[in-house]
Amino acid sequence: MNYSLNEFEDAQRYLSERLLEEDDDNQLRVIARYYMDEGCTRELAREKVCEFVCMCGESASLNYWSDKIDLAIKRAKKTPLIEADYISVSKAELNRIATLDGVRLQRLAFTLLCLSKYKGMRKENNDHWICVPDKDIFAMANIKVSLRKQASLYRTLMLSGFIRLPEDNNSISMQILFADDNADADSEIKVFKMRNLGYQYLKYLGGPYFECSNCGVTVKHRNDPDGKGRPQKYCDECAALIQAQQKTEFVMRLRAGRKVALLV
């Protein structure tokens, strides 16, 4: 799932670029809510979302997307769009996280904290409860461990008083107990992207991480950042895109130059 801080801008981008991603369950909900916020009724918003799906490509089949659109409309009614610039994490919260034994545990705690603030933006008086699948949490924390180890990490956090599990044993929810509601006043880290939160925490600790100039995601330096040569500017995905773009521009310039030479 895509955890975006500015869903309003995302909706506009999807509509202008006619981008339809099969793996992103949230995308249609965001577009549907965007239309609802513009004053469309549920039925009209559904029609507009169907139009959007049809515009996205010949191979987009309404037969396949119909159920997903219905679910998106249902969810859009309940969940407003998030429009925030960043999430603040205060010095006090970071000091509390630093008391944990082990950087991996600290990354997990940092990720849970950011998620609780993110969920709080969607629903006021959430009381720092989150209900996010474990695979999303650990992917955002950049931690790859077995299921048993994941449970062991949660257990350590629970015994240290950082999280609380609900009475319902069938639930994946947890309450974050160390979040500070007044983090904006004492902001030490500003989280602009809800991706690679583990790396963002490691960057704060002084690790070899940087923010991609194109997409803003925090990634690890491929080589020694203090070594020879220019420092890395883009993540691997953006680097490939930009290289392809630059190559295309170069070839266009070359052909334009040759054309002018021929005319002369």
Partner 1 sequence: MYDLQSCFDEDSEEFKTLEYRICCGQLIQQDTIDKIKGIVAKPMPKTWYDWHSLSALPDDRREFYRRILANKKPYFMKYIYPTSARDYSSYLKQHSRNCMVKFGYNVEELMDKAENELSEAELWFLQKFNNALPLQRGNCIINKICKIFEDNFDSVKERRPSNEFDITVLKTDAKYTEAEFKAIKKLCKQYMEVIGKQYRRLRVTREERLDFSQKIQQTYDSFSDDCIKVCPNDEVRCNLIIDIAYGNETGKDFAWRTSGEEIVQQLLRKFGTVISFPVRNDDGDIEYGGDHFEMFALNVED
Q: Do 28 and 68 form a contact (C-beta atoms < 8 A)? A: yes
Structure tokens at 21: 């991603």
Site membership for partner 1, residue 171 (CB under 8 A)? yes
Q: Which of 148, 88, 138 has the alpha carbon at shortest distance from 112?
A: 138
Least distance to partner 1, CB of residue 59, Å: 6
Question: 87 phi and psi, to 5 degrees?
Answer: -115, 130
Site membership for partner 1, residue 64 (CB under 8 A)? yes
Segment 65 to 84, residues that bind partner 1, using CB under 8 A: 67
Site membership for partner 1, residue 215 (CB under 8 A)? no
Site membership for partner 1, residue 146 (CB under 8 A)? no
Q: Write the CA distances from 202 to 141, 205, 218, 241, 259, integer angstroms.
A: 10, 5, 10, 26, 52
Whose Cβ is closer to partner 1: residue 67's or residue 226's?
67
Least distance to partner 1, CB of residue 31, Å: 19
CB atoms within 10 A of CB 203: 18
Site membership for partner 1, residue 158 (CB under 8 A)? yes
Show the binding pattern over residues 121-140: x = contacts partner 1 (CB under 8 A), - = does not: -------------x------
CA 257 to chain centre: 43
Q: Write the CA distances from 102 to 132, 153, 232, 250, integer angstroms.
A: 23, 10, 28, 49
Site membership for partner 1, residue 16 (CB under 8 A)? no
Report the residue from 154, 162, 201, 210 that binds partner 1 according to the rule CB under 8 A: 154
Report the residue from 16, 39, 63, 226 that binds partner 1 according to the rule CB under 8 A: 63
Give the Cα separation of 73 and 56 in Å (integer): 18
Helix axes 103-122, 197-204, angle to 10 degrees: 120
- Bridge partners, residue 209, by sequence: 220
Least distance to partner 1, CB of residue 27, Å: 16
Question: Segment contacting partner 1 (CB under 8 A): 47-55, 122-130, 150-158, 188-196?
Answer: 150-158
Question: Segment contacting partner 1 (CB under 8 A): 164-172, 178-186, 196-204, 227-235?
Answer: 164-172
Least distance to partner 1, CB of residue 150, Å: 8
Least distance to partner 1, CB of residue 173, Å: 10
Q: Write the CA distances from 76 to 17, 115, 192, 237, 254, integer angstroms.
A: 21, 20, 24, 31, 49
Q: Write the CA distances from 133 to 112, 209, 226, integer angstroms.
A: 12, 26, 38
Report the residue from 12, 41, 61, 99 that binds partner 1 according to the rule CB under 8 A: 61
**Which residues form the interface with partner 1 (CB under 8 A)?**
58-59, 61, 63-64, 67, 134, 147-148, 150-152, 154-155, 158, 165, 169-172
